[in-house]
Structure 1
Amino acid sequence: MIVDRQGRRFRNLRISLTAACNYACTYCVPDGKRLVAAQDELSAPAMVRGVAYLIEAAGIERLRITGGEPLVSPKLEPFLREVGTLGLADISLTTNGQLLARKLPLLLDSGVRRLNVSLDTLDSAAFRRIARGGDLATVLDGLQQAHAAGMKIKLNMVPLRGVNHDQVLPMLDYCLEHGFELRFIELMRMGHLAREGQTFQQQFYGMSALLETIGECHTFVQAEAPVDATALRYEIPGQGFFGIIANQSVPFCRTCSRLRLSSTGWLHGCLSSSNRHYVGDLLDKPRHQALPALQRLLVQALADKQELAFSGGVTVMKIIGG
């Protein structure tokens, strides 16, 4: 077991199945171009071996599949079929929901029961301006089908001042009505936003503003959350829950247990660090050769974590998922 001086270790793995995406969200992609898969992306079998080795080397317990957009990848089916046999405590998936209805049978057959769906507005015109791709009605239909099939669903919203902050209450009310849990994610100073400080400051809509807005219409109390949770969780008694991932306002670096594996074979121990560690070449090696080398890289990746707070990073979020 690899543990740092703050008692942190890697429990949760987020694996970017592909960098390809059918959206080009403004806070993720500055140039408006949809993303394509990298030429050197790992194969599905290599990714499965990567997860298996990380379970053994780091003690990974839970897996979240991200992208880009994982539902566009032809690797999704073979990856799900094999990774489900590795004995993980939980396998979940983050998606923009555009292909959710089409891929729902595959997800259900593969044992995926938890989804995080990125949705920033219920206004169709604002949806097109932010996502620069896709169709809102298709996403909402996929959500209803997944909910009817018994999926546990959280919606992820990035509130942006002057862009969609007027959707905070409509999104919350929609989620309370439909039994979804809404997670507000504070804008992160990453990629182009790490360089464009003025844009970040203009659009940042943080925790205090969110709670003030919600408090105008709802009474809420803070709720329990796991010690290594990224979100502060709140309950609106008798109606439901919402959360705020307040990476700027209330940093959670002290308890972070997340490790990320990119689609091209790079380990990222911290979103706020430009350090990364290549493991793609290890995934073709036999276990007895791969594990010792992997453990050495994991020690370095754990040391990349911030001591106190997220300070921003040049790493582009689209490369390593959410």
Structure 2
Amino acid sequence: MSCPARALIDGHARRVTYLRVSVTDRCDLRCVYCMSEAMSFLPKRDLLTLEELDRLCSAFVDRGVRKIRLTGGEPLVRRDVRALIGGLSRHLASGRLDEITLTTNGTLLSRHAQALADHGVRRVNVSLDTLDPDRYRAITRWGALDQVLDGLAAARAAGLAVKLNAVALAGVNEDEIERLVRFAHGEGMDITLIEVMPLGDVGVAREDQFLSLETVRARLAERLTLTPIADRTGGPARYVRVAETGGRLGFITPMSHNFCESCNRVRVTCTGMLYTCLGHEEGRDLRRALRGSEGDGLLHAAIDDAVANKPKGHDFDLSRAGPPMLARHMSVTGG
């Protein structure tokens, strides 16, 4: 028996309309702010199957989620991800879902871009922290910048809107932020800057990596005219228009200025753990609910319990000494 549709509203009167789903913890890169170099990945049997992912996402659509973002790890390394998107596209066709998007590192985008567009994906986020090939290899530990640039070209050729995501890294790419902004806007792409977050042991002290976007914004404002605009894309970014380029620049500031008061998101890991806040360890096991019953009653009950207990906000604090605040890596939770 199907569960009647009920909006997902948390205890702080915020409505959940945005689901981020990790389809794999694996990635073909080892970015220094995301993973350690010698990562141990989950056994494939622990991951949700294609059918379970579809069932889970559809349950959230039943409850009023309007946007689904597929993440990883790197989502395009999962062989059946295109079939998943093709199946979920029925919710786009019915009008029950507004958007399916992906966050990708772009290395495999050249071979998948057209298929994504054919399945109803209209935009993608691509992580790119530098335009220098040697620096790119250092940040990703072994990546090739040309693969990403080819992926961007393929995405645009397929008609996909592209937004670049760049993590601001102290002493690494802070001298290149303006160049990244001008490159993105010159190619007709938005760009969003992101602060480092204390997730997982990556072998580097987070406080050494952290660069406040307040500092970055002040530096940019010395050379560019930044005008705040009210645009929202469903996520936490706050945007400005850059007069010199005409493009849109976003800032995601979980550390220097959190955005929790308007949070409309929940995340599901590739193993089916539902986290209602990126900065808290408490989660709900949706895989157990999926595998415990052919119906969706247990699944909806677990979702209800999680959303009802969604915290008001995270408590990230880089000034705390010791190991990262959360042991799980971003690649496990979903970037």
TM-score of the pair, normalised by structure 1 = 0.91
CA 247–174 in structure 1, closer or farther in 2 if over 3 Å, else same? same
Matches within 5 A, 1:1-322: 1-33=7-39, 38-56=44-62, 58-86=63-91, 87-192=96-201, 199-226=205-232, 229-237=235-243, 239-284=246-291, 285-287=293-295, 290-291=296-297, 293-311=298-316, 312-322=325-335
- Residue identity matched to 1:157: A
Corresponding pairs, count:
315
Question: Following TM superposition, by how much is the alpha carbon of 1:304 offset from its aligned partner in structure 2, in angstroms?
Answer: 4.8
Counterpart in 1 of 2:321?
none
> What percent identity do the matched residue pairs reach?
32
Let me know the Cα RMSD of the aligned residues: 2.0
SS in 2 for 1:139: helix
Q: Distance in 2 between matches of 1:37 and 1:150?
A: 36
Q: 1:190 to 1:305 in 2, by over 3 A?
A: farther
Alpha-carbon displacement from aligned partner over 1:275-321 (angstroms, at most 9, x marks no partner): 1111113324333xx23x23332233225533244425333211021
Distance change in 2, residues 1:245/1:264 (3 Å): same
TM-score (norm 2): 0.88
- Kept in 2, the 8 Å contact 1:43–1:75? The answer is no
Equivalent-residue separation in structure 2 for 1:138 and 1:321 (angstroms): 22
Structure 2 unaligned spans of 5+: 1-6, 317-324
Q: 1:161 to 1:27 in 2, by over 3 A?
A: same
C-alpha displacement of 1:49: 0.6
Contact 2:278 2:314 in 1 (8 A): no
Q: Is the 8 A contact 2:24 2:72 kept in 1?
A: yes
Q: How many angstroms does 1:203 deviate by?
A: 1.6
Query: Tell me, what secondary structure is at the counterpart of 2:45?
Result: coil
TM superposition shift of 1:37: 5.9
1:132 to partner: Cα distance: 1.5
1:219-274 deviation per Cα after TM superposition (whole angstroms, max 9, x unaligned): 11111133964011010136111000011122111111111111111111111111
Q: SS where residue 51 of structure 2 aligns?
A: helix
> 1:200 corresponds to which letter in structure 2?
R
Q: Is the alpha carbon distance of 1:190 and 1:33 closer, same or farther for their aligned partners in structure 2, counting shifts above 3 Å? A: closer
Structure 1 unaligned regions, length at least 5? none
CA distance in 2, matches of 1:6, 1:139: 40
Secondary structure of the corresponding residue to residue 85 of structure 1: helix
Distance change >3 Å, CA 227–CA 20, structure 1 → 2: closer
SS of corresponding position for 2:278:
coil
Distance 2:26 2:265 in 1: 22
* 1:39 positional shift: 3.3
Confirm or deny: 8 A CA contact 1:272 1:306 kept in the other structure.
no
After TM superposition, give the deviation of residue 176 of structure 1 in Å: 1.4
Contact kept? 1:19, 1:68, Cα under 8 Å:
yes
Alpha-carbon offset, residue 134 of structure 1: 2.5
Moved more, 202-211 or 177-186: 202-211
Counterparts of 2:40 and 2:172, CA distance in 1 = 20
